[in-house]
Structure 1
Amino acid sequence: MLTEIALFLVVLVLLLLLRNKDPPGLPPGPIRWPIIGSFFFLRRLEDYLAIRDKFGDVVRLGVGGCNFVLIHSYKLAREAFSKYEVTDRPPWKVIEHLGDGKPGIIGRNGEGWLQSRRFHLRNLRDLGMGKSYLADAIHHEAKLMVEDVRHYTDKPTPFPQSISVAVLNVIWQLVASRRYDLHDEQILELLALIKEFQQQVKFLIFPDFFPWLNYLPDKLLRVLFKYDMREKRTARAKAFVKEFIEDHKRNLDPSNPRDVIDNYLIELDRQNSDSDSDVFSEEDLIRDIFDLFVAGFDTTATTIRWACLYLAAYPEVQKKLQKEIDDVVGRDTLPTLLHRPRLPYVEATLHETLRLAPLTISGAPHLCTADTQLDGYHIPKGSVLCAVICAIHHDTRYWEQPEKFFPERFIDESGNFSAPKEGFIPFSVGRRSCLGEALARMELFLFAAALLQNFSFAPPEGREIDLEPLDTPGMVLPKEQDIIITSRT
């Protein structure tokens, strides 16, 4: 009897392996084991680099019911993500931050996404994104942030929350004409909501990859994937945002819109009077605002933390950067956008940080909605394409000694900052590149320059800075650790 059972299991495994074998014309890739696939062998940057070295620039692998195509080439990522048929996001529940069955602007598809992106991009630009007059608001937040950070000097401390709140305040002012005290409990609660989502994403993503899990008993699902916690977080986030929308509705002046919410409500009223238009809704506004918060603040705040950690680990780079700030700006005033062209090493250091520590390993996923071709391979409809940003940023075709933290690679022979033209995509590329890239770059420069002008960062005595990312699937987040902040004034 045992022999028959063993034989049956062997035959079953062989059948499953044959079923998972790629037909001709598809990209190469590792073996896809029954049920678990091959994706979970990829956790660290080294795993992705090993896959690239073995199989090439385009790699196909699978997990559960999903077929993935990993792109390790800058040029192929640009080509793929410029295709109309590779514009959509996959219909994953994990992308639906507010958990009510519909995504925000990050996960939305079709005409609704296109109109929402155009609307938000136009309004963010009109409200100052990428323009010098928004720098005044950032400058004010940077000043308050510096004053607060002084309370954490000369002792081992985690990164002060005020750094994140200062960045988030800029988004709030664009979206809702509101800023918060750096220690306001309400804004700290929003930060906690975002952090909770990052910590729980590893649980939330399983039912998307393994749809059969959804047939488990509801009580078991709620325990395994923490649905109760997600629903509570959803209710808190929606109530938080809805309060601002209701206040804007009471005080709306259509002839004098103040921010994104005002402009959205005006557009919503216009579309409600047009029976043929139903793209915008108040529920969409709530989801879009939360997406703008998560994407708009998290990239910048996390990159600032990474920059401080790298400079703490490389004190010679920190000294060189601070000398440049002292020579150009001095100590009496904070750096401004007018100083930016004369601070090439600051720019180079921030770009090197973005190269080594982009927010995500492989960027946001793209769904292939029709059969297509890439690098001579057939990409079937339904495939999920991801540009492996970390691998592209470690591509020796563009970067010499890519594992090294070396800001000088962004400085040309004349000593000027030289922006990379290829091999660098921290904000993704193509039709769905980051909506707030211009704002993120402005904030990153002004906040980081203000911090490094006023403080030095170092590891606590007897310790080293840990530059290994937190073990969070798909993310490149710094580990929580103490640092020593020393005032330079």
Structure 2
Amino acid sequence: MESVLRYLDWTSVGLALLGGLLSLVLLEIFRFNSFRRRFPPGPKSLPYVGNVMQLFKEPMDLIRSMENYGEMSCLFVGRKPMIVLNKMEIVKEAFVNNGSVFSGRPQVPLLEWVTNGLGIVMAPYGNSWKQQRRFALHTLRDFGLGKKSVEERVAEEARYLVEEMLKHEGKAFFPIHPIMNSVSNIICSIVFGDRFDYEDKRFAHLLKLLNEYVGLPGSMIGQQKAMEESTFHEENMIISTTDLFLAGTDTTATTLRWGLIYMMDHPDVQERCHEEIVRVLGFDRSPCMDDRAQLPYTHATIHEILRCSNIIPIGPPHETTQSTQLHGYHIPAGTQILANSTAIMTDRNHWKHPDVFNPENFLDEKGQFCKNDFFLPFSMGQRVCLGESLARTELFIFFTSLIQRLKFSWPPGEPRPNMNGIMGLVRCPFPYNTICSSRETTH
């Protein structure tokens, strides 16, 4: 062996290894390019890693660029394609007209380890998901969802939130904890029949974990005895409860946090909302959902906050349950499908002011609220947001109550947060401080 090594030309060995490595890379490039041509166009991607670096570095810039490639475009995570739907018409065709084919969920290793494929939000399309979703809807309705009793709970919690914020009156404070506490108290009061105090340290810690996307608290329904082939067992109950608590807290709280930023950035909009609210409700009466018709500008402002905050800018991810065709492309089973709500909710053909915050996007020429068919904050089809009704109630009553009683402004010298936000399960604003002052002295 030593005699062989003595005669080896190490330079030649090195060149041979380098040549072999280059051959493997070139072969991968050839294979990847051949594979890529089967899918819609998209941004340039690298062999082995695809578009992962772009997704990590500047996710919002990448998402905004996707519509430049047409009604359908494609990203790659490694060699795995992700089909992006950039137009409302094609989203409806996939998620509504062919819902059973496009309503799967991709397996995310960490979530799969936590949930074991159970629950509602990330559960695979099938019998278990259908049963749990239907059961959750019926149970939440039994507990008051869609009824006056829930509106009264939200209005009561909004009063607590105003009182909590007034403790910081005139001083800069970080609003995330009181907002998350108030929103989470709604789902807690529906399920547990009680709320948590803002000073409760254990609950505050739970909300901190939730904000860091690792909390696993819960809120849904009591156990039923498990039966063979039944999806109603303790483990599924826990995961479904966790799904409802997470989805029922973080999304609405994040939207309200974005809402305060837009109100501080647009004090004229904030003042116009306040004047309308006080003119209709006075200073003391709590709002209810029936007030929306008399508060068109405020109602439009809430919708504009949802449009601009766009907390799930691409997704949540769907997955094809079988091979299919979509606009001339063959889509294999197990392919991720993403609705580009960023492109849809800034489409210049369907929005009066697509690139700026302006409630006029939801007002007609007479100043009355008008719907826009290209408004897509809750997704659509069989995977439409389970808590849409509750979220709309919370956003309207919380926002209206806050603007009725408080005025929000930036602390002197406070730098504006990067409006691209932080990408996680939802797109959150960067941490910021606000100053609130009571409106009571002006009335």
Q: State the TM-score, normalized to the length of structure 2.
A: 0.90
Identity of aligned residues (%): 35
Equivalent position to 1:364, from 316, 323, 330: 316
What corresponds to 2:41 in structure 1? 28
Q: Deviations over 1:179-224 (max 9, x none)?
A: 1112212221221121122xxxxxxxxxxxxxxxxxxxxxxxxxxx
Equivalent position to 2:78, from 64, 78, 92: 64
- What secondary structure sits across from 1:390 in the alignment? helix
What corresponds to 1:138 in structure 2? 154
Contact 1:394 1:403 in 2 (8 A): yes
Cα distance in structure 2, aligned partners of 1:11 and 1:58 = 33
Contact 1:149 1:160 in 2 (8 A): no
C-alpha root-mean-square deviation of aligned residues, in Å? 2.0
- What secondary structure sits across from 1:431 in the alignment? helix
Residue 278 (structure 2) pairs with residue 326 (structure 1): yes
- What secondary structure sits across from 2:148 in the alignment? coil
Which structure's CA Rg is the greater one? 2
Equivalent position to 2:90, from 69, 72, 76: 76
Contact 1:309 1:467 in 2 (8 A): no
What corresponds to 2:408 in structure 1? 457
Higher mean alpha-carbon deviation, 85-94 vs 309-318, is at 85-94
Residue 131 (structure 2) pairs with residue 111 (structure 1): no
Q: What code does the residue aligned with 2:417 have?
A: D
Q: Rate the CA distance shift 1:418–1:154 in 2: closer, same or farther, 3 A.
A: same
Cα distance in structure 2, aligned partners of 1:139 and 1:345 = 20
Q: Deviations over 1:258-293 (max 9, x none)?
A: xx424xx3xx23x63xx5x42111111111111101
Cα distance in structure 2, aligned partners of 1:125 and 1:340 = 22
After TM superposition, list the pairs within 5 Å mapping 1:236-247 onto structure 2: 237=216, 241=218
How far 1:175 sits from its partner (Å)? 2.1
Q: Which runs of 5+ in 1 are unaligned?
A: 198-229, 245-259
Higher mean alpha-carbon deviation, 128-137 vs 311-320, is at 128-137
Cα distance in structure 1, aligned partners of 2:172 and 2:36 = 57
Cα distance in structure 2, aligned partners of 1:61 and 1:170 = 38
What corresponds to 1:13 in structure 2? 25
Q: Which runs of 5+ in 2 are unaligned?
A: 1-11
Residue 268 (structure 2) pairs with residue 316 (structure 1): yes
Higher mean alpha-carbon deviation, 118-127 vs 459-468, is at 459-468
Equivalent position to 1:485, from 426, 436, 440: 436
How far 1:365 sits from its partner (Å)? 0.8
Cα distance in structure 1, aligned partners of 2:174 and 2:204 = 15
Q: What code does the residue aligned with 2:243 have?
A: D
Cα distance in structure 2, aligned partners of 1:69 and 1:367 = 10
Q: What code does the residue aligned with 1:29 have?
A: G
Equivalent position to 1:435, from 386, 405, 411: 386
Contact 1:311 1:317 in 2 (8 A): yes
Contact 2:353 2:361 in 1 (8 A): no
Q: What code does the residue aligned with 1:123 have?
A: T
Q: Rate the CA distance shift 1:449–1:328 in 2: closer, same or farther, 3 A.
A: same
What corresponds to 1:222 in structure 2? none
Cα distance in structure 2, aligned partners of 1:100 and 1:435 = 18
Higher mean alpha-carbon deviation, 36-45 vs 296-305, is at 36-45
What corresponds to 2:221 in structure 1? 261
Q: Rate the CA distance shift 1:375–1:445 in 2: closer, same or farther, 3 A.
A: same
Q: Deviations over 1:93-115 (max 9, x none)?
A: 2334x725334211112100001
After TM superposition, list the pairs within 5 Å mapping 1:75-474 onto structure 2: 75-82=89-96, 83=98, 84-96=100-112, 99=114, 101-109=116-124, 110-159=126-175, 161-197=177-213, 237=216, 241=218, 260-262=220-222, 265=223, 268-269=224-225, 272=227, 275=228, 277-421=229-373, 423-466=374-417, 468-473=419-424
How far 1:444 sits from its partner (Å)? 0.4
How far 1:7 sits from its partner (Å)? 3.4
Q: What code does the residue aligned with 1:130 have?
A: G
Cα distance in structure 1, aligned partners of 2:111 and 2:353 = 35
Cα distance in structure 2, aligned partners of 1:118 and 1:433 = 13
Cα distance in structure 2, aligned partners of 1:164 and 1:39 = 31
Q: What code does the residue aligned with 1:374 have?
A: L
What corresponds to 2:62 in structure 1? 47
Contact 2:196 2:203 in 1 (8 A): yes
Contact 1:389 1:425 in 2 (8 A): yes
